[in-house]
Chains A and B, each alone.
Chain A
Amino acid sequence: MAKIFAVTIILIAIGSAIPIVMHTWDMPQDISTHGPLIDEQFKDTMLEAGISFLASQLLLAFFIWKFSDPKPGAKIKSFPGGAAGLVIAAFVLVGTEVLALGVFGAKAWASVYFAPPAANAMPVQVQAGQFAFYFRYPGPDGKFGPIHVDQINEANANFFGIDTTHDQDSKDDIVTAEMAIPVNREIHLLMHSKDVGHSFFVPELRVQQDFVPGLDLSIHFTATKVGKYEIVCTQLCGLGHYNMKAYLEVMSQEDYDNWIKQQAALQ
């Protein structure tokens, strides 16, 4: 039975690796400027993880095969190098591997979070609420009008609670249910939650960030490829969580200018 067990482990280990090696289910294509660093990090990690995984499962299988069903009179042998050798191996191999991953991964993280948005980044606000995303563009004045929670009225499509009568900055704000952005332009995304915790995830954009109720935070990114992508909510927010999504359209600058003009007319 030991030998069958050993073979099973090997088959499972190799079988598990096959879909990874064959890229059967891969990360969606990257359309962001900071994505390559993340993807590189992922690839490096997968390589190291894959080697560690296969090596340790194969070693386990081999030892089970070799050292089970001992012959009578067999003697116990000690692993060469003993415990000290293994501890050193762990510190050296695993330690350097993880520290390398950590140090290089910090670069990828820094490229997303430690650099402030460019001065000419285009601001867009996204509001998450049970169970939809809405977006607001500041219009020609470049400023977002204040949010009045007591004026939020979904029936009248006043999702943000803006007061165009009394607030000058709100007059040219554009509210949409879809997010459109021009390609190759840095976007400064201001994130606001209306109610509970939500999250903003666009796999292709290599962006995932939780909304924090009570704390408006922001991220920034640049999309490099025209297309239609899905924004999905990844922070459990209630019964409609599975359905909470919006479309992100990355357009050429010209298409985007037309789109925003159309949206402004609809306000």
Chain B
Amino acid sequence: MHDMSAHAVQHGAPTSFLRKHVFSLDHKVIGKQYYALALVAVFVGMFLSWLMRIHLGWGSFAIPGLHLLSKTGAPGDVMTPEYYLQLMTMHGTIMVFFVLTTAPFAAFGNFFLPIQVGAEDMPFPHFNMMSFWVTFVAFLVLVASFLVPDGPTLGGWTQYAPLSAVGSVSGPGQGLGVVLWASSIAIFCIGQLLGSLNFITTTLDMRTRGMSLMRLPLSAWAWFITSVMGLTAFAVLMPACILLILDHVAGTSFFVPSNLVINGQILPHSGGSTLLWQHLFWFFGHPEVYIAIVPGMGIVSHVLITNMRRPMLSHKVLIYSMGSLAVLSYMVYGHHMFVSGMNPYSSLAFSFPTLVITIPSAIIVLIWLGSLYGSKLRINAASLFALGFVSMFISGGISGFFLAQPSIDIMLHATYFVVGHFHLVMGVAAMFGIFAGTYFWFPKMTGRMMSEPLGKLHFWLSFVGAYCIFMPFHYLGIAGNVRRYQAFTDDYLIPLIPVHKFITIAALFTGAAQLIFLYNLIHSRFKGAPAPDNPWEGTSLEWSTATPPPHNNFGDTMPVVYHDPYQYSIEGASTDFVMQTSPEQLKNPHEEK
């Protein structure tokens, strides 16, 4: 017997096509829409990176058809310096916002958080629907900058002032291109805030009977922690973008100081602070990278546990560690600004929490490793990507040791070392988290299984390929290879070009391997083997309901939760795993330490 009305969501099953598939209030459809957006975005972003890498390895190479993308940017199919920077800016912006913030958090979170807490839907379905369409509009606004005469902005995804704030006098794309960029991001922020609103209220208010906070799966905790970060981080980025837009269109001088001379003109601005932009941006920017990785940590933990047939050594420690990452992430942002001209005492002040944040990261990795010990590890595409995440996170995280120290940052700031670091953690580890989640949850989301052999092939090519691409970045950085260069003309950089060529080839191969994933995704969607309700023998609530879940997630009866989320391999239990909804009483449940 249940009472649906008190927290009940107000929408019944939709009937029209538009309501079912386009303007849906159903969190599952919204999650799939976000996934589709991220899928499109990642292939656009990856395509841009191919163009960049080809140009870096072979600068005068005429890429066939490039002039179709931009006549001014690639006359005769050879990329101009400014076009390289424009592609680079769009690559970074699309990947960070529309892939890494969207897929692990908005896509999987929207689909699975309500189910994992035992709710029918999120409490504000209209806001939820709006959050997707607002994000979609933001994507369109961003991509529109490819179509304007001067092209997109070339200032990097970080858009430092005054380059970003003074208008087209500072370079092609710096006029309308910047305004479109800043507008897109401001719109994106609104979408994220609406999403965070739903995630937080779902986790706190919509849990089913018996589902205490500590009984939530680690993926649910990760989404909850991420949504709290998003709430505070995006709420700071939006005003920053608004002020930037005003500097462009309203003649204000928030970020532009006096007496700047560009192209022979003295700019009319006065008194603005370029460092102010950096402070505002990085106050958002550092939590943002944790927003990109924490959902992956939750997903990977969840996938690993199911495939290890045992819970993590401590559920609580992982939750507290992820929480500590979130809290500390606000105190470290100045490590992006060590040599920015900020007070050098501030640099030291920021470096200490940056070093300290390695401790919760290390705890998380050690708990993962320690939980692997003595487990009954199953190898499949999902667990391979989850384990790959661990390896990549170790590699990427350790290069952080160097960058956390201002004295070493003197040598590594703005070099390929930084680019290698963040690509390993974001571009690879976070992506692997998305892949792990996809292979794991595709059956539940679509009712069909993906191809395991293709999944494993995808894994092998991606794992080896990604290391081939991004490990050399660190060596280039140590040698002093500066980033955001479209060509290497300096005496000391010319000997490094062969390394770039190697990286480019690795990147093209690894990129091509992603087409295997795309094929697997699309083919399985229509032709995959029908999936059972619980293909991986999981314990959490998503496996207790039908595949795919019905409109209100659980059918006629809301679930009742009797157990902690990961009761695998219990002594004396009747099966290898005990689902959260199973009324079986356990004599020796895994204790929550």
Task: Tell me if A74 and B162 are in contact (CB < 8 A).
Answer: no
CA distance A68 to B352 in the complex (A): 39
Task: Tell me if B377 and A70 are in contact (CB < 8 A).
Answer: yes
Q: Provided the pairs A24-B475, A238-B163, A240-B81 are in contact, do residues A212 and B275 lie with their beta carbons within 8 angstroms?
A: yes
Task: Tell me if A19 and B475 are in contact (CB < 8 A).
Answer: yes
CA distance A113 to B406 in the complex (A): 11
CA distance A26 to B489 in the complex (A): 19
CA distance A77 to B170 in the complex (A): 62
Task: Tell me if A86 and B370 are in contact (CB < 8 A).
Answer: yes
* Contacts of A73-99 to chain B: CB distance below 8 A: 74-79, 82-84, 86-87, 89-91, 93-95, 98-99
Task: Tell me if A64 and B376 are in contact (CB < 8 A).
Answer: no
Task: Tell me if A57 and B362 are in contact (CB < 8 A).
Answer: no
User: Chain B 80-101, CB within 8 Å of chain A: the 1/0 string?
Assistant: 1110010000000000000000
CA distance A238 to B372 in the complex (A): 49
Q: Provided the pairs A49-B401, A197-B163, A239-B80 are in contact, do residues A27 and B480 lie with their beta carbons within 8 angstroms?
A: yes
Task: Tell me if A82 and B376 are in contact (CB < 8 A).
Answer: no
Task: Tell me if A149 and B261 are in contact (CB < 8 A).
Answer: yes
Contacts of A78 on B, CB cut-off 8 Å?
313, 373-374
User: Chain A 50-71, CB within 8 Å of chain B: the 1/0 string?
Assistant: 0011001101100110011110
Q: Provided the pairs A27-B480, A112-B410 are in contact, do residues A87 and B363 lie with their beta carbons within 8 angstroms?
A: yes
CA distance A5 to B483 in the complex (A): 33
Contacts of A79 on B, CB cut-off 8 Å?
313, 370-371, 373-374
Q: From residue A130, how far is it (CB to closest CB) to chain B in Å? A: 7
A105 within 8 A of B: yes
Least CB separation from B343: chain A residue:
A113
Q: Provided the pairs A45-B408, A59-B369 are in contact, do residues A101 and B390 lie with their beta carbons within 8 angstroms?
A: no
Task: Tell me if B257 and A45 are in contact (CB < 8 A).
Answer: no
Task: Tell me if A101 and B156 are in contact (CB < 8 A).
Answer: no
Task: Tell me if A67 and B264 are in contact (CB < 8 A).
Answer: no
Least CB separation from A106: chain B residue:
B348
* Contacts of A180-235 to chain B: CB distance below 8 A: 194-197, 199, 201, 203, 206-215, 217, 230, 232-235
B413 within 8 A of A: yes
Task: Tell me if A239 and B394 are in contact (CB < 8 A).
Answer: no
CA distance A236 to B162 in the complex (A): 11
Task: Tell me if B484 and A101 are in contact (CB < 8 A).
Answer: no
Contacts of B126 on A, CB cut-off 8 Å?
none
User: Chain A 139-162, CB within 8 Å of chain B: the 1/0 string?
Assistant: 000000000011010100000010
Contacts of B82 on A, CB cut-off 8 Å?
238-239
Residue of B344, B366, B407 near A86 (CB, 8 A) is B366
Contacts of B262 on A, CB cut-off 8 Å?
130, 194-196
Least CB separation from A215: chain B residue:
B341
CA distance A195 to B258 in the complex (A): 10
Contacts of A46 on B, CB cut-off 8 Å?
402
CA distance A99 to B352 in the complex (A): 8
Residue of A25, A99, A211 near B475 (CB, 8 A) is A25
Task: Tell me if B471 and A16 are in contact (CB < 8 A).
Answer: yes
Q: Provided the pairs A235-B160, A235-B414 are in contact, do residues A38 and B408 lie with their beta carbons within 8 angstroms?
A: yes
Give the size of the chain B interface in residues (CB under 8 angstroms).
112
CA distance A129 to B265 in the complex (A): 13
Contacts of A57 on B, CB cut-off 8 Å?
391, 394-395
Which of B221-229, B353-361, B506-514, B544-552 lies at the interface?
B353-361
A48 within 8 A of B: yes
CA distance A230 to B488 in the complex (A): 13
Q: Provided the pairs A210-B339, A239-B81 are in contact, do residues A5 and B379 lie with their beta carbons within 8 angstroms?
A: yes
Least CB separation from B368: chain A residue:
A60
CA distance A129 to B263 in the complex (A): 10
Task: Tell me if A203 and B407 are in contact (CB < 8 A).
Answer: no
CA distance A113 to B338 in the complex (A): 11
Q: Provided the pairs A109-B348, A236-B163, A242-B487 are in contact, do residues A208 and B341 lie with their beta carbons within 8 angstroms?
A: no
Q: Provided the pairs A102-B351, A210-B341 are in contact, do residues A12 and B467 lie with their beta carbons within 8 angstroms?
A: yes
Task: Tell me if A236 and B85 are in contact (CB < 8 A).
Answer: yes
| Residue among A27, A129, A154 with most chain B CB within 10 A | A27
| Residue among B162, B308, B390, B410 with most chain A CB within 10 A | B410
Q: Provided the pairs A68-B379, A101-B405 are in contact, do residues A197 and B257 lie with their beta carbons within 8 angstroms?
A: no
B317 within 8 A of A: yes
User: How many residue pairs at the A-B interface have CB separations less than 8 Å?
Assistant: 311
Least CB separation from B413: chain A residue:
A208
Residue of B275, B374, B402 near A42 (CB, 8 A) is B402
CA distance A87 to B361 in the complex (A): 11
Contacts of B252 on A, CB cut-off 8 Å?
none
Task: Tell me if B399 and A238 are in contact (CB < 8 A).
Answer: no
Task: Tell me if B170 and A130 are in contact (CB < 8 A).
Answer: yes
Contacts of A24 on B, CB cut-off 8 Å?
475
A171 within 8 A of B: no
CA distance A199 to B412 in the complex (A): 13
Task: Tell me if B160 and A236 are in contact (CB < 8 A).
Answer: yes
Contacts of B80 on A, CB cut-off 8 Å?
239
Contacts of B341 on A, CB cut-off 8 Å?
209-212, 215, 217
| Residue among B275, B314, B367, B405 with most chain A CB within 10 A | B405
Contacts of B413 on A, CB cut-off 8 Å?
208, 234
Task: Tell me if A214 and B273 are in contact (CB < 8 A).
Answer: yes
Contacts of A102 on B, CB cut-off 8 Å?
351-352, 355, 404-405
A264 within 8 A of B: no
A2 within 8 A of B: yes
B198 within 8 A of A: no
Q: Provided the pairs A45-B402, A197-B274 are in contact, do residues A154 and B264 lie with their beta carbons within 8 angstroms?
A: yes
User: Chain B 145-174, CB within 8 Å of chain A: the 1/0 string?
Assistant: 000000000111000111100100011100
A262 within 8 A of B: no
Between-chain CB contacts (< 8 Å), 27 pairs: A1-B384, A2-B379, A5-B387, A12-B391, A12-B464, A26-B479, A27-B411, A28-B480, A52-B401, A63-B377, A75-B569, A78-B373, A83-B314, A84-B314, A101-B404, A102-B351, A105-B408, A109-B406, A112-B407, A149-B266, A152-B261, A196-B162, A199-B339, A206-B410, A209-B341, A212-B275, A233-B482
Question: Apart from A196-B260, A203-B480, what 16 extra A-B contacts exist at CB < 8 Å?
Answer: A42-B402, A42-B408, A45-B401, A63-B375, A67-B308, A76-B569, A78-B313, A82-B313, A105-B351, A109-B348, A213-B257, A236-B160, A238-B82, A240-B81, A241-B485, A243-B487
Shortest beta-carbon contacts, A-B, top 4: A214-B257, A77-B374, A83-B314, A108-B407
